[in-house]
Amino acid sequence: MKSIIDRIDHVVLTVTDIEASTQFYEKALGFEREFFTGPEGQPRYALRFGQYKINLQDRATETPTKAKVPTIGAGDFCLITAIPLNDVITHLTANNIAIDVGPVARRGALGPIRSVYLRDPDGNLVEVSEYI
């Protein structure tokens, strides 16, 4: 059967401090913050990049569409860079953002990639990659 899904639109991270997480992703990866109103009229927060976003919630976020067991620090995802990975490494180093591992060879959805791994303030594992 052919896949019925085209792409990922957004993912959600449960974080300890929405503002601290927002500042990290702005500084580390150039994401843009977005505020919007949830279905119950509550404020919601997101990080935009390209055609995608990461929604942020904390334990107090009220929404009927929340993971059954939202867990801080359990995120592990890969992002494809819009610039050469060496430029990302230079940017991270200049901003005192630690690289946990890399650069290393890995396999992405479309083939071989070169990756570095870093952690956000809650310990979520963020892989930043370029296709080789």
Peptide bond into 39 cis (omega under 30): no
Residue 67 lies in a domain: no
Question: pTM of the full predicted structure?
Answer: 0.92
Residue 5 lies in a domain: no
Cα gap 107→96, rounded to integer Å: 27
pLDDT reading at 65 higher than 90: no
Q: Domain tally for the chain?
A: 1
Residue 3 lies in a domain: no
The reported pLDDT for the residue numbered 62 is 79
Domain that holds residue 90: 10-60+74-131
Contacts 24+ apart (CB under 8 A), 42-50: 45/18, 46/10, 47/21, 47/22, 49/79, 50/82
CATH number of the domain that 55 lies in?
A: 3.10.180.10
Q: Which of 26, 34, 40, 127 is catalytic?
A: 127
- Catalytic, 19? Answer no
Q: How far from each other are the two terminal CA atoms of the chain, in whole angstroms?
A: 29
Give per-residue pLDDT as tens, 66-104: 888 989 999 999 999 999 999 999 999 999 999 999 999
